[in-house]
Chain A
Amino acid sequence: MLFMRNPERSEIFLRDLNALFLEATFQGGDQDILQKTLDAGMHVLGGTRGFLAIMHHETGELSVRCTAGEGWTEDAKRLRVHLAQENTRGITGHVAVTGEPYFTGNVENDPFHVRYFEDTRSEVAVPIMGPFGRIRGVINIESTEENAFDADDCAHLVALGVAASVYLTMEGFIARETALIEIGKNLTSTVELSELMHKVVDITTEALQFEDCSVFLIDENTNQLVLQASRGVLAGNAGEAAYELGEGLTGWVAMHGTPIRLEDPPSDPRWKGRFTEFPSNEIGAFLAVPIISRDRIIGVLRVLRRKSFSPWFSNRFTQTDERVLTTIASQLGAAVENARNFRKLIRSERMAAWGELSAKSAHMIGNRSFALKGDLNELKHLIEQLPDSPIKESMTEVAQSMTRGVDKLDELLREFRDFVVATQLTLAEADFNALIKEVVSESFPKRSPVALKLDLDESLPPIRCDSVKLKRAFSELIENSISFQPEGGELIIKTSLMSPEDRAEFRLAWSRDFIKVEFIDTGPGVPDEIKKRIFQPFYTSRVKGMGLGLSIVKGIIDAHQGQIIEIGRKGEGAHFVVFLPINNSKL
């Protein structure tokens, strides 16, 4: 019946509509189509002016995308929609809330109409619907004539609204497809993991219209979820912000491997809100999916949206959002695995080559120095045969200096070899206190201005360790302490079982118990600014050697899967704390 009244109009309309659908379906992304839709509406309804407004995906605010007819300025566009939204008044607002078409033939008597253009008499508005019953926008057409529109006009405009809806949906699909292709491309071309994470976060946020996006990965050592990349305020916390497994919504996803999709996340009992991209009370929707790699949960990908400003607009995440995010997460999982394997491979090849090279060169240099010693020995013998003279004296001096040089070379070689073999352990069960006593008797000088105090916990259990290497490490700490207290002072060596507080403070593995050994002295201490560097190779504040000392110590402790840190304060003396696991069955 609809098109019987005016067959000619119907024919034009159908042709327009047909063209619009074809364009919307096959040429998504072309903004022009929305304008054409509005123009077709104006044409078929014979309106004076009209506009098409789209809701912001997140806030629900309407904004005018295109207009038709006379009287539009930039201000007019902005104000027109603003009025329409105020307290859900206005015909446009009413349609946006109800999702039902609406028309009036006399705005003067209309309960919803808000006057904006003086000459408006009739108004018709229809919704543009989206997937999941969501309202995407409104098409509004006005006329200066009274009773310009009827139900038939309304129905025509609804059909145009569907064309606009098809266009918007296609636009969304294309953005999604582009984003996924973009991420896919980056996954294969980006080797550097952190760079990849940032790209994924950027693309996910922008192209998929999530307000903010963060990637967390599980740190294999601490078993915590650590932030890798994010946008906005959290970006600066990358590498630091960390959740325990099971803590908060994000931690829950990491522990259970199941996605969480929520509106108003702070009302969930699992909510913690420790690290959020914006204030908790502004979060409107939450979606987090696990990043899985080879059946193992390795992290969480999480997106948030702000609460919408409009009471009628829900910006919750949809099932489709969850599917898309899960797809990205699984691609990311594979990429992380690849990057990690690649890094391991490079490292192990490098280490193997490095180890072989070091062993070979140390051996060859050692042999040369040994031969040199022999020559020097012979030279000294020959010099002794000479009759006494000033020249003989000088020659003897030179020979002695050479001997000192070769000795120095041997010392460097020794340091170098210690560094290279620091991580090659030969484990056996040992009495830890006895080990400490041996080190002290071997390394602590009989006469020293430094007073030594041993404070040993006699209840320590035996420990599986490489005694030779540990003794090497501890003697380094002792020698260090003595060399920094040339005027005298004190060195306390203390052993104990770690306390529960230690476990929390130093983030020791939960599955193991540790022996704690401390070296506390009254020397100058370690300034804060170099605390992080003292364990790096070639860092030294002493003139002796290559500066490998503390890095050898750290290498040996690390190889035992222990920990070493310096916690003293500058001016109050150095305080080294070493933790060594008791049950080293995994080594």
Chain B
Amino acid sequence: MIKEDLMARVLVVDDEDEVRAALKRRLEREGYEVSTASSAAEATAVIRDQNPTFDIVITDMSMEEPDSGLVVLQEAIAHDLFTEVIVLTAYGNVSNAVESMRRGAFDYLEKNSPGVDTYELLIMKLAHALERRRSAVGTMRRLESFSKMMKQ
């Protein structure tokens, strides 16, 4: 149980092999347990089969469709309300980024920001997302045990 808590599970969804490889390598170096999917469809299947659920899903926005990221986001949240989703967008696609925030993403990140070390930024955001998930899950558990106690 303790091990499970330490090794956070992350799903990386991107249609480019190189991107998936780069993200996986970096996240594993940070100590995350990383799964990957190369499309919204594959991500949907992986998310449904995963138990325990993913803590964090990092998904590209534009894959099969220009808004495939929104499909992944919806699937992840539907499967586990407390899964945090970070959306990667191409530069300039503000409207999709805003839409994903509106639908409950933790944050979004522009892949191509000149002068920004996107990977360092992602690691920071990931840590924040994980913190929020853990505190939300913790609150939920306390709530559950409290209600159990009340029933007894």
Given the interface pairs A410-B91, A413-B91, A417-B92, the reply to whether A374 lies near B26 with Cβ below 8 Å is: yes
Query: Does A421 contact B92, Cβ atoms closer than 8 Å?
Result: yes
Query: Does A363 contact B22, Cβ atoms closer than 8 Å?
Result: no
Find chain A residues with CB under 8 A from B26 CB: 374, 377-378
Query: Does B118 contact A411, Cβ atoms closer than 8 Å?
Result: no
**B90 adjacent to chain A (CB < 8 Å):** yes
Query: Does B16 contact A410, Cβ atoms closer than 8 Å?
Result: no
Find chain B residues with CB under 8 A from A363 CB: 62, 90
Q: Mark B120-146, 1 if CB is under 8 A from A, else 0.
A: 100000000000000000000000000
**A414 adjacent to chain B (CB < 8 Å):** yes
Find chain A residues with CB under 8 A from B94 CB: 468
A363 to B120, CA, bound (A): 22
Closest-by-CB residue of A relative to B115 is A407
Given the interface pairs A366-B111, A367-B19, A369-B112, the reply to whether A414 lies near B25 with Cβ below 8 Å is: no
Query: Does A371 contact B29, Cβ atoms closer than 8 Å?
Result: no
Closest-by-CB residue of A relative to B23 is A374
The one of B29, B62, B115, B118 that contacts A370, using a Cβ cutoff of 8 Å: B118
**B113 adjacent to chain A (CB < 8 Å):** yes
Find chain A residues with CB under 8 A from B112 CB: 366, 369-370, 410, 413-414
Which A352-379 residues have C-beta < 8 A from chain B?
A: 362-363, 366-375, 377-378
Find chain A residues with CB under 8 A from B111 CB: 366-367, 369-370
Closest-by-CB residue of B relative to A377 is B119
CB distance from B66 to the nearest CB of A (A): 8
**A381 adjacent to chain B (CB < 8 Å):** yes
Find chain B residues with CB under 8 A from A426 CB: 95
Find chain B residues with CB under 8 A from A367 CB: 14, 16, 18-19, 60, 111
Find chain B residues with CB under 8 A from A410 CB: 91, 112-114
CB distance from B33 to the nearest CB of A (A): 18
A468 to B111, CA, bound (A): 19
Closest-by-CB residue of B relative to A407 is B114
A540 to B120, CA, bound (A): 35
A350 to B52, CA, bound (A): 50
A375 to B95, CA, bound (A): 29
CB distance from A59 to the nearest CB of B (A): 68
Closest-by-CB residue of A relative to B60 is A367
Query: Does B22 contact A378, Cβ atoms closer than 8 Å?
Result: yes
Query: Does B25 contact A374, Cβ atoms closer than 8 Å?
Result: yes
**A123 adjacent to chain B (CB < 8 Å):** no
CB distance from A549 to the nearest CB of B (A): 15
**B21 adjacent to chain A (CB < 8 Å):** yes
Find chain A residues with CB under 8 A from B120 CB: 377
Find chain A residues with CB under 8 A from B29 CB: 378, 381
Given the interface pairs A407-B114, A413-B112, A418-B92, the reply to whether A378 lies near B19 with Cβ below 8 Å is: no
Query: Does B117 contact A377, Cβ atoms closer than 8 Å?
Result: yes
CB distance from B29 to the nearest CB of A (A): 7
Find chain A residues with CB under 8 A from B14 CB: 367
Query: Does B18 contact A371, Cβ atoms closer than 8 Å?
Result: yes
CB distance from B120 to the nearest CB of A (A): 7
A372 to B94, CA, bound (A): 23
Most buried by B among A374, A421, A426: A374
Closest-by-CB residue of A relative to B20 is A371
Find chain A residues with CB under 8 A from B19 CB: 367, 370-371, 374
Which B81-114 residues have C-beta < 8 A from chain A?
A: 88, 90-92, 94-95, 111-114
Given the interface pairs A374-B19, A375-B22, the reply to whether A366 lies near B115 with Cβ below 8 Å is: no
Find chain B residues with CB under 8 A from A378 CB: 22, 25-26, 29
CB distance from A406 to the nearest CB of B (A): 9
CB distance from B101 to the nearest CB of A (A): 16
CB distance from A12 to the nearest CB of B (A): 93
Which A426-470 residues have C-beta < 8 A from chain B?
A: 426, 468
A–B Cβ pairs within 8 angstroms, 23 of them: A362-B90, A366-B91, A366-B111, A368-B16, A368-B18, A369-B112, A370-B112, A370-B118, A371-B18, A373-B22, A373-B119, A374-B18, A374-B23, A374-B26, A374-B119, A377-B117, A378-B26, A378-B29, A381-B29, A407-B114, A410-B112, A410-B113, A414-B112
Q: Which residues of B contact A (CB under 8 A)?
A: 14, 16, 18-19, 21-23, 25-26, 29, 60, 62, 88, 90-92, 94-95, 111-115, 117-120
Closest 8 CB pairs of A and B: A374-B22, A371-B18, A370-B111, A410-B112, A410-B114, A367-B16, A377-B119, A411-B114
Given A370-B112, A371-B18, 16 more A-B residue pairs with CB atoms under 8 Å apart are A362-B90, A366-B91, A370-B22, A371-B21, A372-B18, A373-B22, A374-B23, A374-B25, A378-B29, A410-B91, A410-B112, A410-B114, A414-B92, A418-B92, A426-B95, A468-B94
